[in-house]
Amino acid sequence: MTPNLKVYQAFDRALIAEIPADDAAVLEHKLDVAAKAYADRSAWLPTHRRMAILRRVSELLSENRDRFAIMIAREGGKPLTDAIAEVTRGIDGLVNAADELRNFGGKEIPMGLTAASTDRWAFTTKEPIGVVAAISAFNHPLNLNVHQIAPAVAVGCPVIVKPAATTPISCIEIVKLFWEAGLDERWCQTFITEDNALAESFATDQRVAFLSFIGSAKVGWYLKSKLPPGTRCALEHGGAAPVIVDRSASIDAIVGTIVKGGYYHAGQVCVSVQRLFVHNDILSNFTDALAVRVASLHVGDPTLKETEVGPLILPRETDRVASWTKEATDAGARQFGGGRLSETTLLPSVLLDPPADAKVSRLEVFGPLTCVYGYSDLNEAIRIANSLPYAFQASVFSTDITVALKAAKHLDASAVLVNDHTAFRTDWMPFAGRRQSGYGVGGIPWTMEEMADDKMVVLNGVS
């Protein structure tokens, strides 16, 4: 008998709920149900019906905004203010998917360009790719599920979503809203497990046409290597986002934005500000201002409105970040702030000049920590920023347009934010990691494209 999955509050490790976990037999049933739903083309939902369901889920989520926000704060540890913002994004994301269907279609393919193609008319249509297996991460337990489920429903794919074992409740509850909105359960199911072998079986099953994975690079690339021939995928991992601060930047104007980008959700964001390259002319003043602002952040229980930084998701993650910090300080980095509030909660800190070979300089920290490095030559700062084997979003702060444009051109990133932090995102913009940071393009409209196939129809005898 499969044991129940225990869900704990991230902040104090209090038990929230025990949820029935799925075993191999349940997984087989759910995959079979989804595959049969897709195979029956005569029963595919018409576009207007999918649009109506998405809009209705958005309305239901809006009615349940506070309930979902508290849920996110409890199971994921995201501060309540940010959890409310996450629900607001989810509400809009559902409408975004519905609206995208107004322009989601094929196009005419020119014929008659050669003698052999005369008297023909060709056009493409969009079809759902098939069963979608979605594996999600803990750090945005509602909105990441919206990013995976809403595009699948929009284009007409049956979707089975496996949430992170630490944060399954938000996923279960948003799927219930889809059912309440009128979507047959065959088209949207959950898969609840903390069994990695079973999760691998799910992701690599022959009946899955598209794997949507959000999580660690190690797991994502491994699963991609195990996919059957023909299975497509999208992988969203992370990085160690670089920020260049030019000497022309106003410290007072930018430090708040940088702190938000670095310490939002205790740094547990795949594009969180991590490596700050600051011109030597302003390095001392910038570091002091950053340290003061970081020290003023309110750390504690994420369910309280005044909290700005909450816990990490698990005690072992807190231990890891603390050990990486100690490695850097033992090697000569200067630390501002820091310390431990509880088993899962670290006080935010800043490291000045950690060595290039320290873990905090080479790997994704995923914790409430930023690193500051001085530079004098912009080209060298860009070279170091680009030196890691992954790349996602990057930033440059400057009032000198020449510096800003040079950084935007030469930084290796899928997006360069000018005078904004690296964690900025809207759900209708493309969102993609380069190199080891990911594969494919996220963002609701782009995910819809990836979950759909083009079919061409050619009519002969048209005169």
Q: Give me the active site residues, please.
A: 236, 270
Instruction: Indicate the DSSP class of residue 134.
Output: E
Find out whether 246 and 396 touch, Cβ atoms under 8 Å. Answer: yes
The DSSP code for 116 is G
Q: Which residues lie below 8 Å from residue 418, measured CB to CB, with a gap of 6+?
A: 395, 396, 397, 398, 404, 407, 408
> Which of 240, 321, 318, 247 minimizes the C-alpha distance to 273?
240
In sequence order, what are the beta bridge partners of 460?
Answer: 120
3-state class percentages of the chain: helix first, strand second, coil last, to nearest 5? 40, 20, 35
Quick check: 152 and 159 in contact, CB under 8 A?
Answer: yes
Q: Where are the beta strands (DSSP E) in 74-196?
A: 108-109, 120-128, 131-135, 159-162, 188-190
DSSP letters of 263-276?
HGGGG-STT-EEEE
Q: In angstroms, what is the C-alpha Rg of the chain?
A: 24
Rama region for 37: left / alpha / beta (φ>0; ψ in -120 to 50; rest): alpha
Q: Where in 12-171 does DSSP place strands (E)?
A: 15-19, 108-109, 120-128, 131-135, 159-162
Q: Do residues 410 and 417 touch, judged by C-beta distance below 8 A?
A: no
* Cβ-Cβ contacts under 8 Å for 297 (sequence gap 6 or more): 259, 263, 308, 309, 348
Q: Round to whole Å and give the CA distance between 345 and 314.
A: 9
Residues 6+ apart with CB under 8 A from 407: 244, 378, 382, 394, 396, 398, 416, 418
Of 144, 327, 371, 362, the closest CA to residue 239 belongs to: 362
Place of tokens 């040079």: 406
Three-class secondary structure of residue 141 per DSSP: coil
